[in-house]
Structure 1
């Protein structure tokens, strides 16, 4: 064997040994909370114009249908109830409440290692949605979601490095009673993952029982208030510019119970929001600012996420188009407005209009996730698993999406330019003194696991190697990984005493 061949072989063996070694979280090439913010689809002048237009809408048009409790909270703070029943917000009131708003929110996990700090351009990817169907990839079909499916999704999320939180992605269609559905949603999610959980509640009257269960899981009310590991996804507005009466009442209960709130405005451009992308952003910002005033009038500095979630329509049909380039731009621009306001924010990305995890789903999920991350979106909701414009959720797509998000996060991380990384000394050594390649260099070996990320399921083999391996199929690999995860006990299952107390107090549909 020649000297060059020997060096190449030694370099390959060293690289294989390094890849086999486990990495600490601190030196992983990607991780939760990395800084984005390099992509800005809006100019500074556009940011200011959108903000001023949102203030105009709040002051001149206002919002209908606030509950009586909300009317009192808002008018006591300085909002104006018009003869037409609409609540209007003077500019000074909005800016006073912006000054009181929490600029750095921590969303806790039941395990502290999953805590997420929402501030600046720190990026976190996770699930969300209310899919009514589960995508059955093995039968190329859709069926209704069950509480078991939700539990399985939570267990899978718990094992995925690049999915940082679980917001309920599907509705338990096998539970007819809405109160039981809300409580079983909490139970299934908490039994499946120790990451932060987001959920919604159907009616204000359900909140007492929900908090009883949550406090039981936490080990008491004080423990939950100290580390609230569940947040409320609250659609407090019905676009355009109307409060959702019961959701506002739920929100009031959540604020009083110490629960972080995602203020979610989900207009659809061309249907329930203006068709121009800029107009959809204006309405979403105005609606979320109204929610920000509402919450801070109750409890200044309450942990709140500015949830501008405007969606896009295919204007030929009026149907939602979550996988479009327009949606990717809309989400990235919303992230930019969060930074303009200095508020922790979240929006939707990663939605596929494709019905199955195919090439269409891949490009739809990838471009919006990358753009959201590059824009520095704090919470990227619906980033994995969502198909059929939010109607379907796919467990295999969730697993494949972990690879996709790893690559997205690597784009978010960007390129570090330092005296060491420009590599002049290494180039000099390799070209003038060494073998003419960098495969076995100390620099390459030191960076291959910390600078580069590798797919867990994605295939990078040559056609010859691929054939020798039996032509592995991505979907089949995802099915295999899903079955492996679900064959193991949940790492998040509740202790027997807590579980027994919850099952005694509430009707739990998952088997013990």
Structure 2
């Protein structure tokens, strides 16, 4: 149990990094491969180059947005259980990744993951008391263009636990969102209070967002679904 905040760098260095982040967003910006997103942020006061997809964020606008971020939030599962973050102890728990591609068997051999692995994992998570988040492995035997939809469907059939969705295709995002809504019994307000599923979104290094992740962000913002914002810094 974490009793005190973890401080990896001194306070003065932290402030320097924060200031440089503001400068990076304002002077260099990020690339966004989504015409609708470019229009939205331009209307909000960002400097947008529509030819290159480059967005530059004014420092004061970033500060305003940071002030709007809630200090806590809730997520849930399909049995109606609700989880608050941070916890009552002031800490939180997370995991580092999703979409495992290979499975190491008891004899040490390695094989590709399949849908049956997701089914087994979902049923296992359903029975382990203190695991509240399921991140499904990739399924090599599912159709490539809609692997993510098959993964979510498999989990819905085998577990009521909260599920972290990893999209794999821009075209499937709207269908995944429909599955999220179905998991909340069609109640949009339930997603804002304690969503039974959440999204994984990524920034592709260096400073680039592809259309799929931006599509996810728009659906998440519209429906109030939680996002786990990650960075693919090794790409």
Common fold, TM-score beyond 0.5? yes
Listed one character per residue, the Cα deviations across residues 409-460 of structure 1 (whole Å, up to 9, x for unaligned) are xxxxxxxxxxxxxxxxxxxxxxxxxxxxxxxxxxxxxxxxxxxxxxxxxxxx
Asked whether the equivalents of residues 255 and 261 of structure 1 are also in contact (C-alpha less than 8 Å), the reply is: no
Question: Please, what TM-score do these two structures have when normalized by structure 2?
Answer: 0.86
| Aligned with residue 187 of structure 2, among 203, 221, 228 | 221
Instruction: Give the RMSD, CA atoms, in angstroms.
Output: 2.4
Instruction: Quote the offset at 1:157 in angstroms.
Output: 2.0
Q: Which runs of 5+ in 1 are unaligned?
A: 1-33, 273-512
Q: 1:109 aligns with which of 58, 77, 84?
A: 77
Q: Please state how far the C-alpha of 1:199 moved relative to its aligned partner.
A: 0.7
SS of 1:103's partner is coil
From 133, 146, 149, the counterpart of 2:102: 133
CA distance in 1 between counterparts of 2:96 and 2:6 reads 23
More helix by share: 1
Q: Could you say which residue in structure 2 is the equivalent of 1:182?
A: 148
Pair 1:250–1:164, CA change in 2 (3 A): closer
Partner of 1:211: 177
Cα deviation, residue 167, structure 1: 2.1
1:151 paired residue number:
119
Q: Is the 8 A contact 2:78 2:183 kept in 1?
A: no
Partner residue in 2 for 1:262 = 228
Q: Is the 8 A contact 2:188 2:223 kept in 1?
A: no
Contact 1:125 1:163 in 2 (8 A): no
Whether the 8 Å contact between 1:127 and 1:166 is mirrored in structure 2 is no
The number of equivalent residue pairs is 231
Seen in structure 2, the aligned counterparts of structure 1 residues 161 and 223 have a Cα distance that, compared at 3 Å, is: same
SS class of match (2:219) = helix
User: How far does the alpha carbon of each residue in 1:235-256 deviate from its partner, in whole angstroms, 9 at most, with x for none?
Assistant: 1x21111121232123212322
SS at structure 2 position matched to 1:99:
helix
Unaligned runs of 5+ in 2: none
Distance 1:37 1:69, change over 3 A: farther
Picking from 54, 60, 70, the partner of 2:37 is 70
Shift of the 60–35 alpha-carbon distance from structure 1 to 2, 3 Å rule, reads same
Is 2:17 the counterpart of 1:50? yes
Deviation at 1:224, TM superposition (A): 4.3
Go from structure 1 to structure 2 and tell me whether the alpha carbon gap of 1:129 and 1:213 turns closer, same or farther (over 3 Å shift): closer
User: What does 1:278-317 align with in structure 2 at a 5 Å threshold?
Assistant: none
Separation in 1, partners of 2:93, 2:31: 34
**Is the partner of 2:229 in helix, strand or coil?**
strand
Relative contact order higher in (CA < 8 Å, ≥ 6 apart): 1
Q: Which structure shows the higher strand fraction?
A: 2
Partner of 1:93: 61
Counterparts in 2 of 1:210 and 1:203: CA distance versus 1, 3 Å: same
CA–CA distance in structure 2, aligned partners of residues 100 and 135 of structure 1: 44
| Other-structure match for 2:91 | 122
* Alpha-carbon offset, residue 73 of structure 1: 1.4
Does the C-alpha gap of structure 1 residues 146 and 75 become closer, same or farther in structure 2, counting only changes over 3 Å?
Answer: same
Q: Residues 223 and 51 from structure 1, CA distance in 2 versus in 1: closer, same or farther, beyond 3 angstroms?
A: closer
Aligned ranges 1:96-495 → 2 under 5 Å: 96-113=64-81, 115-119=82-86, 121-126=90-95, 128-137=97-106, 139-168=107-136, 170-179=137-146, 181-222=147-188, 224-225=190-191, 226-235=193-202, 237-268=203-234
